[in-house]
Every structure is written in structure tokens, then in C-alpha cells.
A = this chain, B = another copy of it.
Amino acid sequence: MSYCYEYPHPAVTTDVVAFTVIRDDLQVLLIRRARPPYRGAWALPGGFINPDETLEECVRRELEEETGIDDVFMEQLHTFSAPDRDPRERVITTAYYALVPPNRQEIRGASDAAEARWFALEGLPPLAFDHAHIVRTARARLVEKLEDPATAFRLVLDVFTLSDLQRVHEAILGVAIDKRNFRKKILGQGLIEETGAKRQCGAHRPAMLHRVIE
């Protein structure tokens, strides 16, 4: 039963769970579907693979076509294969997660998307297909990946305050973090340095700006 040429091949797609932090919220990028099935429903950006591209090339192309967002960090999450996950025909999808820093959040909807928008993870609309399950899987992976300091650095600007970094951790973990312990831990890693400049924000004291040591 190993050589199953007699069977029709499944269709293959990619989908992407693009995360960003806006204010205090972890947010996810969704598109509103312009075509059936699930026309008008919100869904993850994604689509069918072309014959000459890899899955990673496919997911980057789809994200750019449907939302205008490109050149962001991406990693493969999981391949989802329940036989009935798409009403049209069998579709196997490889999902990626992307980390979008504040200067790349701007959206230009196009292609098969009627609209594209950032949604707070805690207030997602009903999603097409098994996309709610994919989002939950991606969120769990993101929490794991936060143990690698590079993850939070990918969700702030190149130059950032320690409060920016703390906000990213709090948004992903969904809990408040003690400021003093957080600073001690981050500075103890020896991965970032002060730029020498400060940023004034509202009525607060100017905050020291940092960058990742190359």
C-alpha cells in the first residue's frame, strides 16, 4: 500500500499565523475571504502551492499578496492533514508563524483577500476551516519560543526600551511581569547594549534606548 499512484493527490497549501504586539496586546493578522468556501469569513492568510516553489516561498508570496507584509521572520509550525478539513477537496496545509515588528505592521489587502486586519488574540472572530486550531497551536509554540531571547527582539524595533521588551513578554504570556526582576534577567543575558540615546514618552521619565549586540 505504499505506492498509491492510483489515488488522487491531495491539494497542498500554506497558511501563516503572523503575530505582532500592538499596545499591550498580542495580535494576529487575518484576512476576510473574498471567495467560497467560507466567503466573507475571517481566515489566516495563505493559499495553494505553485509547482516551482517551496512551501516557504509559497507562504511568503501568499502573505505579501494578501496583506502586503514581507521580509519578516518566519518558521514552520506544523502540517495539518485531517482528511475533511476543507469542503472542496482534500487539502493538506503547512502552517508557519511569523513575527512582525512594529515598523512592518502596515497592511495592504489584495489578491484573494477582501480585507486584512490585525485582531487581538483574545478577541478573534470565528475563523474558517480549522484555523482557530492552527492559531492555538501557533500561540503555544510562541510561548515556548519566548525562551529564546531572539523571539522578543523580533517583535520590537531595532532600537527599543526595556519597557518595550517587557510589554512583548507580557502580551505573549498574558501575565504581568515584575519590572525589576525582568530588567535584571534581560541585562544579565549580556545580549543588548545601551545606544546612548533616550526616548521621552508622555509624562514618564525619558527611557534609555537599547539595541541587540551584533
Question: Within the assembled complex, what's the spacing in Å between the Cα atoms of A203 and B106?
Answer: 70
Say whether A90 contacts B2, CB under 8 Å. no
- Tell me if A35 counts as interface (CB < 8 A to partner B): yes
Size category, A interface: 35 or more
Question: Within the assembled complex, what's the spacing in Å between the Cα atoms of A94 and B8?
Answer: 18
Minimum C-beta distance from A24 to chain B (A): 31
- Leading 4 A-B pairs by shortest Cβ distance: A2-B47, A9-B9, A4-B48, A55-B81
Contact pick for A11, options B9, B78, B81, CB 8 Å: B9
Chain B residues, CB < 8 A from A82: 54
Say whether B92 contacts A55, CB under 8 Å. yes
Query: What copy number does this chain have within its complex?
Result: 2
**Given A1-B65, A3-B112, A4-B48; 8 other pairs, CB 8 A cutoff:** A3-B35, A8-B9, A9-B10, A51-B83, A54-B82, A55-B92, A56-B81, A81-B94
Q: Taking chain A's interface residues, is the majority helix, strand, or loop, or is none over half, making it mixed?
A: loop
Given A7-B48, A51-B83, A81-B49, A92 and B2 contact (CB-CB distance below 8 Å): no
Chain B residues, CB < 8 A from A195: none
A-B contact pairs, 30 of them (CB 8 A): A1-B47, A1-B61, A1-B65, A1-B111, A2-B47, A2-B65, A2-B66, A2-B112, A3-B47, A4-B48, A4-B49, A4-B50, A5-B11, A7-B48, A8-B9, A8-B51, A9-B10, A9-B11, A9-B12, A10-B12, A10-B51, A12-B12, A52-B83, A54-B81, A54-B82, A55-B81, A76-B78, A76-B79, A79-B79, A81-B94
Minimum C-beta distance from A3 to chain B (A): 6
Interface residues in chain A, defined as those with a beta carbon under 8 Å from any beta carbon in chain B: 1-5, 7-12, 35, 47-56, 61-62, 65-66, 76, 78-79, 81-83, 90, 92, 94, 111-112
Minimum C-beta distance from A109 to chain B (A): 13
Chain B residues, CB < 8 A from A53: 83
Minimum C-beta distance from A62 to chain B (A): 6
